[in-house]
Amino acid sequence: MKNFIALFLFFCATIAASAQIRTEILLEKNWKFSRTDQPEAVGPDFDDAAWQSVRVPHDWAAYGPFDGNADLQNVAITQDGETQASMKSGRTGGLPFIGVGWYRTRFDAGGFEPGSRRASICFDGAMSNARVWLNGREVGFRPYGYNSFWFDISPFVKERDNVLAVRLENLPESSRWYPGAGLYRNVRLRITSDVHVPVWGTRVTTSRVSEQSAEVELHTEISAPAGLKGAFRIVTKILDAGGNAIASASYGAGAVPESATTRFSIANPHLWSPESPYLYRAVSELFVDDRSVDLYETRFGVRSLEIIPNKGMFLNGKPVKFRGVCNHHDLGPLGAAVNRRALQRQLEILKDMGCNAIRTAHNMPAPELVELCDEMGFMMMVEAFDEWNTAKCRNGYNLYFDQWAEKDLVNMIRQFRNNASVVMWSIGNEVPGQHTAKGMRTARDLQAICHREDPTRPVTMGIDNVQGAMNSHMAAILDVAGFTYRLPFYRKAYAELPQEIVLGSETASTISSRGVYHFPVVRGSNKMHEDNQCSGYDVEHCSWSNLPDDDFAHQDDYPWCIGEFVWTGFDYLGEPTPYGSKWPNHSSMFGIIDLAGIPKDRYYLYRSHWNPSEETLHILPHWTWPGREGQTTPVFVYTNHPSAELFINGKSQGKLTKDKGMTVERTDTKEASDQLLRLRRYRLMWMDAKYEPGTIKVVAYNERGEAVAEREVHTAGRPHHIELSADRTSLAADGRDLAFITARVVDSRGNLCPDASHSLRFKTSGAGTFEAAANGDPTNLEQFHLPRMSLFKGQLVAIVRAGERSGTLRFEAEAAGLGKGTVELKVQD
């Protein structure tokens, strides 16, 4: 009881002190927005009453409409092996993100006092070329839309009625995918005393980590007025996940120093890992002449990561491989506007698949994503740039690299170097010039910046010109050689590079559309179809890439392969390969999960391999094929079990067993590839099955030949009603929380109607609002934010947002000739 009272009093004192000496205000409401370029908008007295009222984060371009002429690019994509330019209508998603946007808001800076207090304005990201004014005076400029940045606004800020104005501009041909537009990440005001820890001002390192003990060192920067006198002291407590103080240390000096270092020992630490993502907090209080002047909190994890030549990667002394995905930053129908719940939902879906790592391709992430990876247990490769100083896009980051690269890279590392989830930095993706001495020196210099700012984490990059990078020694000087695809080079690189380690920094680029199946079923490279879709049989890929099974085999056969990051976890806006020159097509088909967040068949292939402790038994394709009676319709099964038997209308089609003998060496020929031999190691495939209406059933068997699971798929009847299911039943009444509601059209027996394409109309009432909808069809041009959407292959997802008052949120979906679907959700304080 005494310990509880002491802890309670400590927190009360901490909260009280924090309220007095450090304030953070999220600037999310009361923004005004305009697409008209009005330079006079910097003035405090400018009349913005006619501007649109918005809430930040905000992506102005996500509302559309789609247009194939938006950012039309006549280019040859050299990364894809193209040698001749062609018109790319959907390369950046066909949304109107080009041009200028203005934002203005008013805020009070309560407690700010000139001379004794400091104020800063912090942007988690602003797309792009952000120029900022406060009370009519220019504060600063940052061009890179993905970088977090901050300005000291102490000379410009007032205690009351401040006017903040931000001008953003996206240039044409500045991106290879949809970048978003506007203040798409959060904006924060921070007020501190004149002696304080600056933004991202701490660095935590752990050493001698074991299950018995760990050494923790906290390095803290101190910002103070020049010539300030007074006795300085910093007191830091380490708190466990339950808020219990488990260690403390202090540092004192006769005057305020530029930095202070405190050290701790933690007995029997909880080690951070994907399976057990345990987090600690370091709470530091600064004193000058015994007067409390600042309180700063640093969240961290205790873990060790070691990469050993020829042996692999070890987390906390145990072997581990990246089972990772690459993800762009957009959130499908929400555009690029960041939302914590939307990110959390993505990670929940990936976690169930067995994913344990995220690569933030090809840009710096939102802090919400990194925080969630800390909490949910995902290792992260945080990536900085898609371009250096040689252009991929005419108006891309190459315009800014020489002046801004170090500043932007330093910001990224300082922002995320204390996050337990971050295990590796990536300095670039498939940059031109990998074969040159100049490119090698740039890689060396960027890696040196990473090591200077964070000596604890290895550095990699995405290398696509493997032989060129080996010849220039670029691949050799990196801590980890990361290859994008290029499987035929793996063994050569392992034999010749000093690291004796290979990472698949980007893999697969398998392309598929959910619920779409093309016949005959043959492996295809850059194959195009009349419907602008790709086959859900998961046998189509790009000319430079491969199938999931190819990467599985390399990771399974070679311990020196330390994992992979699949391109991509989710479909994203832009890069509709191979249909970049064939409109309409506005989003990728690389994703394991579609743009609406509905898993494709491929999801279950990864789940069967990456999450073997959980049962997976998935059948494809659907079994509703009017007109295909008697025709060959292959049946694939993705399962964690070794064997299965297929029945069509009760008649056995034979029992198949995965062939573990299909190793890399045995299947490393074109003939083996064409015959899908390597796929037999990970999939069960009845290639000669013939369609007849009715039921297909699969019975799975364990290693002892015992039947352990079964699943059926039925031919669907006529569409009967709309079936709704929400991803959660209760939302927080904070104005930000979201629920994702899947709508399916089923027959009278509840079977999905895979060809249903009805247009659904939505109605939302009560304690929330309709936000957006998507169906996962890359050729669909309906605007996401309108309360209607056509089904794609019988399904879609609608998104609702909680209000700020408790109550019941009611959502309805209806369409002509179908029974209405209804779902109710609780919104609670």
Which sequence positions are flagged as catalytic? 430, 506
Give CA separation, 584 vs 66, 89, 580, 667, 681, in Å. 9, 8, 9, 38, 37
Q: Do 380 and 421 contact (CB within 8 A), yes or no?
A: yes
Task: Write the CA distances from 282 to 20, 246, 298, 318, integer angstroms.
Answer: 19, 10, 5, 27
Rounded-to-integer distance, Cα 689 and Cα 682, Å: 19
Contact between 465 and 493 under an 8 Å Cβ cutoff? The reply is no
CA distance 78 to 120: 42
In three state form, how does the secondary structure of 237-262 look?
EEECCCCCEEEEEEEEECCCCCEEEE
Determine the Cα–Cα distance for residues 310 and 307; give it in Å rounded to an integer: 9
11: number of Cβ within 10 Å: 13
DSSP state of 364: P
**DSSP state, residue 559:** T
Instruction: Tell me how many degrees the CA angle 261-257-204 measures, rounded to the nearest 5.
Output: 25
DSSP 771: E
Indicate the burial class of 126 (C-beta count within 10 angstroms; 0-12, 13-18, 19 or more).
buried
Own/partner pairs, 203-211, CB within 8 angstroms, 24+ separation: 203/414, 203/417, 203/418, 203/454, 204/282, 204/298, 204/300, 204/418, 205/455, 205/456, 206/300, 206/302, 206/303, 206/304, 209/269, 209/271, 209/302, 209/303, 209/304, 209/316, 210/317, 211/268, 211/269, 211/271
> How many C-beta neighbours within 10 Å does residue 488 have?
10
- Three-class DSSP category at 202: strand
Q: In angstroms, rounded to a whole number, what is the distance separating the alpha carbons of residues 812 and 390?
A: 51
Contact 361, 383 (CB under 8 A): yes
**DSSP structure class, residue 38:** -
What's the burial of 654, exposed, middle or buried (CB within 10 Å: 0-12/13-18/19+)?
A: exposed
Determine the angle formed by the axes of helices 367-376 and 401-416, rounding to 10 degrees: 30
- Strand spans (E) along 291-440: 291-300, 305-308, 312-315, 318-320, 322-326, 357-359, 379-383, 422-429
How far from each other are the two terminal CA atoms of the chain, in whole angstroms? 30
Q: Which H, E and C letters describe 290-329, residue by residue?
A: CEEEEEEEEEECECCEEEECCCEEEECCEEECEEEEECCC
Q: Closest Cα partner for 464 from 438, 499, 500, 439?
A: 439
Q: Which of 173, 180, 179 is nearest to 85 (CA)?
A: 173
Tokens of 605: 């292939």
- Measure the CA–CA gap between 640 and 607, rounded to whole angstroms: 8
Question: Among candidates 587, 593, 599, which has minimal Cα distance to 533?
Answer: 587
Map tokens 């400590």 to a residue.
Answer: 10
**Residues whose CB is less than 8 angstroms from the CB of residue 6 and which lie 6 or more positions away in sequence, other chains included:** none
What is the torsional sign of CA 473, 477, 483, 484?
negative
- Residue whose token pair is 């003035």: 43
For residues 33 and 51, what is the distance between their CA atoms, to the nearest angstrom? 5
Question: Rounded distance, CA 755 to CA 751, Å?
Answer: 12
Q: What's the alpha-carbon Rg for the chain, to the nearest Å?
A: 28
